[in-house]
Structure 1
């Protein structure tokens, strides 16, 4: 088959020459128009269908300089075409001159009073605009068109030629150009937006409408341009068209345009979309089968939530259920990434600012969804926003009950000092729309407070919006006026007194004292609301909740929010919380953390942290424990504590016995419960059981120390503590002369003891025989050793024999007993000290036993000793040493951390057989060792 005969239009050069000729000579020149039109038309058609669409065709067309004559042709065609009949009176009519019009002269745009160009001109415009629109899909071509002034030419054509096909291709070219920020700015500046909106209102062709909608979407490339489009009325016609068009393709274009225009949704955008009836169609399209339409619609609804004025109407249209369902789907096992959930989380949190939407959200399972977000560590950046949203339910009793059942309180407590993300700042328009008429020009109020005003009125705390001072808000809450204390529970600083009712101060000329409102403010506001329940013990008086509150109070970089202090004071003053404080070791935690300065994360190894405000924390802890003391010593408290200790579970009984010394000062009560009813033995018996609390040994050691001070109140820990042993003066040694190392008058040795090592030690038979019944029988009795001058002593090392020989010859306190005692840090079991103690017992030398035990105490329980040494000493199993260990542990003024570590060592050394430890601790607590020597204290 023969190849097709080539035509002139196959050459790009031919087409460009025709285009250049038409641009230079014009369409109405002296030449025969009919003759010139046919080659131009064929050239334009070839450029559009063949050359531009070929691979790299746009680049070649631009490189050959095709854009300049193409734009010139468009300007001449626009000048030759008619101007619209509604052209402004200031537009000068064209003279119809065939000469080229300046690119920047808009006066050449108006040339006729008819709105339809001739067929020949319309065809030329169609082809030229189609070629230009295709070229503008390339970035370099867009830049050259902008430099050549093509944007103004297109705007002129859009203004002059109202044919649908021309409008369609012009809008398409403008939409492609708008893909560059510079071109987008030029289109806005040239007045293209009003002309596109005119086309949107007048055009009936679907393809033309799609091109116009796309152009408007691309023109919304920045917040400033989106605001400008909304202010020029671009949103409402799009919403109206969305509500009426049945065309699915146009619907998709409209949804995408509304999504772009609603980013950072302005008030004007929300108003126009609502007035245009777009909310209902958007909610309906959220279930569209096409995924792109569905997702764009849902994101548009999420963007609209940024404006409070539209949120009630959005909720009435079903937007709450749609957004909740979509977020639930995205959080499912096969859901999207956390980043895709962010706009939905923000939208749902904003919907919580209006009462009507809160009710819808609660009924649709939104509370469970918000709680799931709080539990999700991946959503940590959104936690502050979620907590602020939950503040909206502050006076919804049903919702609060549900949130408490879902475990909100420990999560809030964790938020107080957790490393959560910062809450994003919302604009003024995002505030609650429950009271839209309220405006405070001096200060932008928080959105949550706008919602709170409605609740204050509904609850009867205020008569109307004007009854609430704009100077008061949760962020800037004045402290309550100090009231006269009616009981010890209400005494103390005003910031710690429990408020009787919520008082909303009215306007006053005095400047109120403002409370800090930081990231922890919303969480504290909710916790405060929970603490005002008749019995908040089940939620707030728990380990996690108390740890969160105390961590905030002690770890805040500045002064803590007084609301946190009031929560703690309110809980400790509530009789319904007393048993919970006992069961959860709450009272012990208050004392350990605030008074002693031992926090859970500082135990057993202290962490490096900034210097705490010890005095303020100690004062707070003592005040809170005083509140609990008032409750415990009331008739109700006595009954509750007695019931817990006598009839409670084993865990409750131990907790009650441990807590009593902290909150009970009546001797008749603590003696009856701890001593007569066996509470103290019950507590000591629990030491060998698994610890019910990480700080259990800190609690027990502190409890025993407090009980000891109650039993013996005259012993003051403020006095300097010294070891009685340190006051003993060394005595002369009576055995050294027998060794011959020092010349001294006296009797010579008449006996030698032979050790297993072969060492011979001199001795005097008469003196040794009087030291103990054992040596009397051995050396002066009927045994063969009584006749020997070299008496073997089996099973005795030289280091253990040394204090024995000194003791046999009358040495008391000469220092020989310290010889076999290893220094602190070395084990006593298997040492010479243990062997010497065993020998003293075998040889019936109780005085030596006591002296050796004192030596062990001097070395290991003195100033150089520590908690580890206490355990080593106790492992020797000697009752007197066990008492010394207990005394060292519970010594008044002992460092609380060392005291607890020592108790841990004692329990570990005692093992399951804790009888010796129990008796030793009992003796020390009850003062049975008073008057005896005890080890010194090391704080």
Structure 2
């Protein structure tokens, strides 16, 4: 079979020549395009179906200069149609369809009329241009040649569906370039595209128009311009008309783009166009892209308060919660994909009707899960602010408290969570619309709210709060001071701000409202319960409040101070403060400046120590008033006698901090055994990170309460414990001409011979009297061996035997601070003094050990070393050093830690030593005090 004869249209040069001639840029260019339609039509059809679709065909067409005559042809053809056609899809057969299906010219009998022929040319030219504009270089070339304005003109003048379709497709492709997009907006194409949405009936044409509008929404400014020119409502109306799947997909994608950073105009038009219900239905669409786009549109709409109630009525709350729950599942999406849904759910909490739906749909549990998730820390401020919306919902607050909200709120006060994103005024609660006027009648719900505020003391009268008040826009003013349940109670006092009638408290109150504001407001609400102890008087909650009060970069919010004051003034919280070591924590953190993070290694703290100390003393005084009341005495007695072992220890430790009556402390701690319980607990596993610090401070306070006349600490430069040095009576025996001459020598294991006087040595100790004057062989020997004794240990023994008291010989075997005493020459000397029955030397050596290790140069680390020697007198010295008045609290606690570690199996010795110091019985000991 013979090969087909090549056609002229197979040549790109021929087609470009025909195009150039028809555009008026070549020979014979002055002819009307309609008169030259058959060869031009064939050339355009070849360009569209053959040359442009070929590999790199668009690039060759552009490089050969085809865009310029193509745009010129569009201008001429559009200008040649004198009367714009209003025919829709039901008019004459589509020239686009005939051009696509006919490879050659139409038969003469069916030759179309000139206007139809022009539209066919226009249709083919627009199709070529739209295809070319899929590439960036062509888009830039079309913009440079001024090709956007002719397209807008065609869109305005030629209303045939196929022409509108091709033109919208070309504009949509051009809009993919930001510069072209701006030019299309400036040329006024948006109103024409919006008009096409309402006038066109063809699905393909509508899809092209919708896509063009989507591509034109490439920036916040362009999205706002589209919404203001009415582009959103026709899209919503089309979506509500249940179009075919392809158009539905295009509409959803366009609405998703237009709703980014959703403007008020966008939300209004989408709602008025009836798009909320269809979007909610599409959230369960089987096609994933449509389903996810619909959900994100609903999430974007939540940024506008005016549409959120209607969105909730359409079922949007359940849809958004379900999708967020799904994405947070074990196989859920990344945190970035959850962010718009978290924001939407939090915004839905601003209206009462949506809060009810959210609560019933399990939203509270979902929000609590977000607060517990460290990966969601950037959203925590937003979630906490959303929970403020449930401020008056008692049921929801009870549920949140049961889910553990309070410790999470306390942790938010000083956490490193991300800052909450600022919302525009359009996102404010629609329960209090901005356009409300004072002349409008008050709603029943506001009247009820105002009556509640007045009854609870938050407002003095009806004029104190305006109808525009809401918890999120104005922090709730609290009572100026907590009601004192017992006369004489001390509490924080803040001046009450009076509000003029008709003004919001936000206009006059100076309550700080930083990132911690929402958390503090909710904590304040919980603290106003009759018995808030179970939630707020716990270790985590108190630590969070105290960390905020002491760690805030500026002055802390007065609301936090009022919360602490309210809790310490509530009798129902007394036992909780005891059980949780709350009173001890208040004293350690505020009065002494030691927090759990500050122990045992100190860290840099704020400089407002005096304010913190004053606050701590005030709060402890509040607890003292409670503890010394008849109710408090009964509660503490019951706790100490009938509580669990842990509660009894906590009660014994806390009593010295909150009880100022010595008689009550003696009865509870001494007569009823509370002190021994505390001392026995020192060697047990600690129930609190600061337990040993609390215990040292408690024992010191108790000592000051029970024995207030204890001798004050002597400054380091005047150490007690050593008298002025006495003359040495042994030294004369050591010279070359000893006077008197020694009549005895002691032989050490090292071979060293030490001179001695037999008479003096025999009278110094029963041991040496029996050895040197009795029936033992040593009584007849001039060289008496002393076994197991080194020269360093023997030196103070020989001095003591010859009457030296306080000559300094006892200091010789004692190592300096920082070196261990166990195994040292000092321990050997002490054992020798005990073995040789020299109690005076024992006491002198112990005094020397105490002077060096517990004196001015000694520190808390030396206390345990001294205690390890296991001597009751030194144990008493250690206890006195630890609990001595004026001792640094940190050193006291470190010393107690060392004592507990050193005690191990000697717990009884430690208990008796501390007990004697606390109750003052050790003061009868004749040994000197070694406090520093």
> Is the shorter-chain TM-score for this pair beyond 0.5, marking a shared fold?
yes
Q: Name which of 697, 700, 704 aligns with 1:709.
A: 704
Post-superposition Cα deviations, 1:47-72, rounded to whole Å, max 9, x if no partner, equal: 11111112211111111111000000
1:779-928 to structure 2, matched below 5 A, reads: 779-928=772-921
Query: In the aligned structure 2, how far is the partner of 1:277 from the partner of 1:647?
Result: 68
Query: Any idea what SS the aligned residue of 2:510 has?
Result: coil
Report the CA distance shift for 1:697/1:641 in structure 2 as closer, same or farther (over 3 A): same
In structure 1, what is the equivalent of residue 754 of structure 2? 761
In structure 1, what is the equivalent of residue 105 of structure 2? none
In structure 2, what is the equivalent of residue 622 of structure 1? 617
Query: In the aligned structure 1, how far is the partner of 2:931 from the partner of 2:63?
Result: 94
Post-superposition Cα deviations, 1:755-814, rounded to whole Å, max 9, x if no partner, equal: 011111111111111000000000111110011010000000111000000000000000
2:67 is the counterpart of 1:67: yes
Query: In the aligned structure 2, how far is the partner of 1:42 from the partner of 1:621?
Result: 95
Q: Name which of 210, 215, 218 aligns with 1:213.
A: 210
Report the CA distance shift for 1:451/1:56 in structure 2 as closer, same or farther (over 3 A): farther
In structure 2, what is the equivalent of residue 735 of structure 1? 730
2:656 is the counterpart of 1:672: no
Query: In the aligned structure 2, how far is the partner of 1:30 from the partner of 1:220?
Result: 41
Query: In the aligned structure 2, how far is the partner of 1:636 from the partner of 1:899?
Result: 33
In structure 2, what is the equivalent of residue 659 of structure 1? 654
| Superposition deviation, residue 465 in structure 1 | 9.8
In structure 1, what is the equivalent of residue 45 of structure 2? 45
Report the CA distance shift for 1:513/1:732 in structure 2 as closer, same or farther (over 3 A): farther
Query: In the aligned structure 2, how far is the partner of 1:854 from the partner of 1:917?
Result: 19
2:603 is the counterpart of 1:604: no
In structure 2, what is the equivalent of residue 284 of structure 1? 281
In structure 2, what is the equivalent of residue 566 of structure 1? 562
Query: In the aligned structure 2, how far is the partner of 1:475 from the partner of 1:431?
Result: 12
In structure 2, what is the equivalent of residue 106 of structure 1? none
Query: In the aligned structure 2, how far is the partner of 1:406 from the partner of 1:50?
Result: 69
| Superposition deviation, residue 512 in structure 1 | 3.7
Q: Is the 8 A contact 1:828 1:834 kept in 2?
A: yes
| Superposition deviation, residue 471 in structure 1 | 9.7
Q: Name which of 312, 316, 322 aligns with 1:319.
A: 316
Q: Name which of 429, 434, 437 aligns with 1:432.
A: 429
In structure 2, what is the equivalent of residue 682 of structure 1? 677
In structure 2, what is the equivalent of residue 631 of structure 1? 626
Report the CA distance shift for 1:801/1:278 in structure 2 as closer, same or farther (over 3 A): same
1:431-470 to structure 2, matched below 5 A, reads: 431-438=428-435, 456-457=449-450, 459=452, 461=454, 467-468=465-466
Report the CA distance shift for 1:485/1:365 in structure 2 as closer, same or farther (over 3 A): closer
2:303 is the counterpart of 1:306: yes
In structure 2, what is the equivalent of residue 363 of structure 1? 360
Q: Name which of 250, 264, 270 aligns with 2:261.
A: 264
1:131-150 to structure 2, matched below 5 A, reads: 131-150=128-147
Report the CA distance shift for 1:907/1:48 in structure 2 as closer, same or farther (over 3 A): same
Query: In the aligned structure 2, how far is the partner of 1:466 from the partner of 1:208?
Result: 60
Aligned residue pair count: 895
| Superposition deviation, residue 34 in structure 1 | 7.5
Query: Any idea what SS the aligned residue of 2:82 has?
Result: coil
Report the CA distance shift for 1:485/1:200 in structure 2 as closer, same or farther (over 3 A): closer
Report the CA distance shift for 1:555/1:440 in structure 2 as closer, same or farther (over 3 A): farther
Query: Any idea what SS the aligned residue of 1:792 has?
Result: strand
In structure 1, what is the equivalent of residue 577 of structure 2? 581
Q: Is the 8 A contact 1:468 1:504 kept in 2?
A: no
| Superposition deviation, residue 467 in structure 1 | 4.0
Post-superposition Cα deviations, 1:231-277, rounded to whole Å, max 9, x if no partner, equal: 11111111011000331110111111111111111111111111111
Post-superposition Cα deviations, 1:600-642, rounded to whole Å, max 9, x if no partner, equal: 00111112x2443111111100000000001111111111101
Query: In the aligned structure 1, how far is the partner of 2:445 from the partner of 2:697?
Result: 45
| Superposition deviation, residue 347 in structure 1 | 0.2
Query: In the aligned structure 2, how far is the partner of 1:386 from the partner of 1:611?
Result: 29
In structure 1, what is the equivalent of residue 490 of structure 2? 491
Q: Is the 8 A contact 1:752 1:789 kept in 2?
A: yes
| Superposition deviation, residue 457 in structure 1 | 3.6
Query: In the aligned structure 2, how far is the partner of 1:856 from the partner of 1:119?
Result: 119
Query: In the aligned structure 1, how far is the partner of 2:436 from the partner of 2:715?
Result: 66
| Superposition deviation, residue 308 in structure 1 | 0.3
2:643 is the counterpart of 1:644: no
Report the CA distance shift for 1:513/1:346 in structure 2 as closer, same or farther (over 3 A): closer
| TM-score with structure 1 setting the length | 0.91
Q: Which moved more, 1:45-54 or 1:767-776?
A: 45-54
Query: Any idea what SS the aligned residue of 2:583 has?
Result: helix
2:771 is the counterpart of 1:775: no
In structure 1, what is the equivalent of residue 14 of structure 2? 14
Q: Is the 8 A contact 1:480 1:494 kept in 2?
A: no
| Superposition deviation, residue 418 in structure 1 | 0.3
Q: Is the 8 A contact 2:492 2:562 kept in 1?
A: no
RMSD: 2.7
Q: Is the 8 A contact 1:662 1:703 kept in 2?
A: yes
In structure 2, what is the equivalent of residue 613 of structure 1? 608
In structure 1, what is the equivalent of residue 540 of structure 2? 544
2:397 is the counterpart of 1:404: no
2:186 is the counterpart of 1:189: yes
Report the CA distance shift for 1:321/1:696 in structure 2 as closer, same or farther (over 3 A): same
| Superposition deviation, residue 4 in structure 1 | 3.5
Post-superposition Cα deviations, 1:77-105, rounded to whole Å, max 9, x if no partner, equal: 00011343899xxxxxxxxxxxxxxxxxx
Query: In the aligned structure 2, how far is the partner of 1:814 from the partner of 1:531?
Result: 67
In structure 1, what is the equivalent of residue 411 of structure 2? 414
Query: In the aligned structure 2, how far is the partner of 1:779 from the partner of 1:846?
Result: 19
Unpaired runs of 5+ residues, structure 2, are 88-112
In structure 1, what is the equivalent of residue 151 of structure 2? 154
In structure 2, what is the equivalent of residue 751 of structure 1? 744
Report the CA distance shift for 1:721/1:922 in structure 2 as closer, same or farther (over 3 A): farther
Query: In the aligned structure 2, how far is the partner of 1:846 from the partner of 1:726?
Result: 17
Q: Is the 8 A contact 1:860 1:866 kept in 2?
A: yes
Query: Any idea what SS the aligned residue of 2:720 has?
Result: helix
Report the CA distance shift for 1:720/1:29 in structure 2 as closer, same or farther (over 3 A): closer
In structure 2, what is the equivalent of residue 699 of structure 1? 694
| Superposition deviation, residue 647 in structure 1 | 0.4
Report the CA distance shift for 1:549/1:482 in structure 2 as closer, same or farther (over 3 A): closer
Report the CA distance shift for 1:844/1:727 in structure 2 as closer, same or farther (over 3 A): closer
Query: In the aligned structure 2, how far is the partner of 1:287 from the partner of 1:479?
Result: 46
Post-superposition Cα deviations, 1:286-315, rounded to whole Å, max 9, x if no partner, equal: 000000000000000000000000000000
Q: Name which of 505, 514, 518 aligns with 2:514.
A: 518
Query: In the aligned structure 2, how far is the partner of 1:371 from the partner of 1:483?
Result: 30
Q: Is the 8 A contact 1:219 1:225 kept in 2?
A: yes
Q: Is the 8 A contact 1:453 1:465 kept in 2?
A: no
Q: Name which of 383, 386, 391 aligns with 1:386.
A: 383
Report the CA distance shift for 1:701/1:331 in structure 2 as closer, same or farther (over 3 A): same
| Superposition deviation, residue 179 in structure 1 | 0.7
Report the CA distance shift for 1:293/1:620 in structure 2 as closer, same or farther (over 3 A): same
Query: Any idea what SS the aligned residue of 2:164 has?
Result: helix
In structure 2, what is the equivalent of residue 57 of structure 1? 57
Query: In the aligned structure 2, how far is the partner of 1:375 from the partner of 1:515?
Result: 28
Q: Is the 8 A contact 1:307 1:429 kept in 2?
A: yes
| TM-score with structure 2 setting the length | 0.92
| Superposition deviation, residue 452 in structure 1 | 11
Query: In the aligned structure 2, how far is the partner of 1:764 from the partner of 1:718?
Result: 42
Q: Is the 8 A contact 2:476 2:521 kept in 1?
A: no
Query: Any idea what SS the aligned residue of 1:753 has?
Result: strand
Query: In the aligned structure 1, how far is the partner of 2:692 from the partner of 2:369?
Result: 36
